[in-house]
Chains A and B, each alone.
Chain A
């Protein structure tokens, strides 16, 4: 089956720093999505990307859909303590009525004050 690779498993940064996370796949996707999960809660959709090469921002977050359709990155600028959480990438491939979403295993982000 399709697999998404997110690494490293954990990242530690200083408050105010920028951080970039990559997500790669051996398969192509039509849609890339980035989610954040806080402890004890469900994931929250941050950014959705629908077109190869697309660059989208949401506040301090910027994400890009790779030209090859096999990768995406998420950038967080000027990190703050509430950015702490698990960040998941997900890829979706539409094949007729089939629209399964595959998630990466997530990156746990810690922000030191």
Chain B
């Protein structure tokens, strides 16, 4: 997964806390996206961006914010963490579709 860096790899939060999941890429890709993966649910799109300054909602955007101020970075913010947001989060980039995924952030909300 060279080229897409997600941090942190693991995180435990308490309900109500906020945090930012970081995603950085060095491949100059316009398309960046965030997915969550839950058992038996596959990958669900949270938010995506087709270029700096442009973001749009995916299938499950509630409780999450994104911004895209640079081509390289696409942070995902949890405003007030809830147990239902316990999941594995993947960032993916590509020219116009997710071709490269990061290794994921495993997030637990207590």
Please judge, given known A-B contacts A41-B103, A42-B90, A44-B101, whether A99 and B50 are in contact too, CB under 8 Å. yes
Please judge, given known A-B contacts A42-B90, A43-B101, A45-B99, whether A101 and B54 are in contact too, CB under 8 Å. no
Q: Number of B interface residues, CB 8 Å? A: 28
Q: B37: shortest Cβ distance to chain A, in Å?
A: 9
Secondary structure call for the B interface: strand
Check if A100 sits within 8 Å of B48, measured CB to CB. yes
- The answer to whether A70 has its CB under 8 Å from any CB of chain B is no
A48 to B4, CA, bound (A): 20
> Across the interface, which residues of B come within 8 angstroms of A105, CB to CB?
40-42
- The answer to whether A113 has its CB under 8 Å from any CB of chain B is no
- The answer to whether A59 has its CB under 8 Å from any CB of chain B is no
Q: A44: shortest Cβ distance to chain B, in Å?
A: 7
Please judge, given known A-B contacts A31-B97, A42-B101, A42-B102, whether A100 and B58 are in contact too, CB under 8 Å. yes
A1 to B104, CA, bound (A): 25
> Across the interface, which residues of B come within 8 angstroms of A99, CB to CB?
31, 48, 50, 96-97
- The answer to whether B78 has its CB under 8 Å from any CB of chain A is no
Residue of A nearest to B96 (CB): A99
> Across the interface, which residues of B come within 8 angstroms of A42, CB to CB?
1, 4, 90, 92, 101-104
Q: List residues of chain B with CB under 8 Å of any chain A CB.
A: 1, 4, 31, 33, 35, 40-45, 48, 50, 54, 56, 58-59, 90, 92, 96-104
Closest 6 A/B residue pairs (Cβ): A42-B101, A105-B42, A103-B43, A103-B42, A45-B99, A43-B101
